[in-house]
Amino acid sequence: MTATEVSDATGRITLRRRRGRRRQVILIAAVAAALALLGGLAWLLLGSDVLGVRAVEVHGNRLVATADVQRVAEIGAGTPLARVDLDGAATRVSGLPPVAKVAVARQWPNTISIEITERTPALAIETPGGYWIADDAGVVFDSAAQAPRGVLTARVPSGDPRLVRDLASVVQALPPGVRGKVRLITAATPDSITLELDDGVRVIWGSAGQSELKAQILTRLMAAKHRVYDVSAPSSPTTR
């Protein structure tokens, strides 16, 4: 190999080394830029208030005040949206008595939305000071001076929670045609549930057990007019 050839080979090697170092520098710079970008995004999402909570909106509430929902949700102003514990907020809000269901969601860039479904009144339970309002599961969630229109009135000793649940299960089982005629539903004990209809007819229901079967039997019995229907023992119902 001549001196010229050696010189050319050396030059090519040097050039390749320079290009390799340049590529390494470019690669390192690209990685550093990507890491910086990711770090900036992480800070923007998790550490900055630029995308922080500025509003907590509440929808679907009528019985529970918006301020109460916001207070119980415990979502601090300025908290980065990405760090808000949506499940935790939903659990806390669901503890409010009128709330049946709740959904909490992020609305970028700065809002948390709380969508509430409230319980529907099914029973108005007489109390010395007015009425307790319960839903169709027997959960007491409100009170009122007067029974809401279209809601069945109930009478149980001291608002016994178990009896309230039993009455609610009976009401759920009633055929619509019968439910619309009920003026009062009472229970002194778990085995003495009684329905008083608006035409003076009385239905002796007994316990809340086998309510669906009792409802079917009552429907058949009411094909003939009587003053009292006793379905407390569904295997041997009576009328008089």
Amino acid at 56: V
Average pLDDT of the residues in 149-166: 89
In this prediction, residue 158 has a pLDDT band, given cuts at 50, 70 and 90, of confident
Residues 139 and 232 in one domain: yes
Cα→Cα distances 164→1, 49, 155, 200, 208, Å: 106, 48, 9, 23, 11
Q: How far apart are CA 26 and CA 169, in angstroms?
A: 73
The answer to whether 52 and 80 have CB atoms below 8 angstroms apart is yes
Q: How far apart are CA 179 and CA 199, in angstroms?
A: 13
Question: Could you read off the pLDDT of 90-146 as tens digits, one per residue?
Answer: 999 999 999 999 999 999 999 999 999 999 999 999 999 999 999 999 999 999 999
Residues 192 and 111 in one domain: no
For the ranges 70-74, 79-83, 90-94, the lowest mean pLDDT is seen at: 79-83
Which structural domain range is residue 159 located in?
A: 123-239
pLDDT score of 219 more than 60: yes
pLDDT (0 to 100) of residue 15 = 60
- What total number of domains does the chain contain? 3
Question: Could you read off the pLDDT of 27-62 as tens digits, one per residue?
Answer: 666 666 655 555 545 554 555 677 799 999 999 999
DSSP state of 223: T
Structure-model confidence comparison of residues 178 and 8, the more confident one: 178
Q: Which long-range contacts (CB under 8 A, 24 or more apart) does 73-79 make?
A: 73/104, 73/112, 73/114, 75/112, 77/52, 77/53, 78/49, 78/52, 78/53, 78/54, 79/52, 79/53
Q: What is the pTM of this model?
A: 0.75
**Most confident segment among 6-15, 156-165, 191-200:** 191-200
DSSP state of 17: H
pLDDT (0 to 100) of residue 28 = 67
172, 162, 62, 158: which is closest to 123 by C-alpha? 172
pLDDT score of 7 more than 90: no
The answer to whether 58 and 66 have CB atoms below 8 angstroms apart is yes
Residues 190 and 128 in one domain: yes
Q: Residue 71: which CATH number?
A: 3.10.20.310
Cα→Cα distances 67→72, 92, 144, 196, Å: 9, 14, 21, 41
Residues 62 and 157 in one domain: no
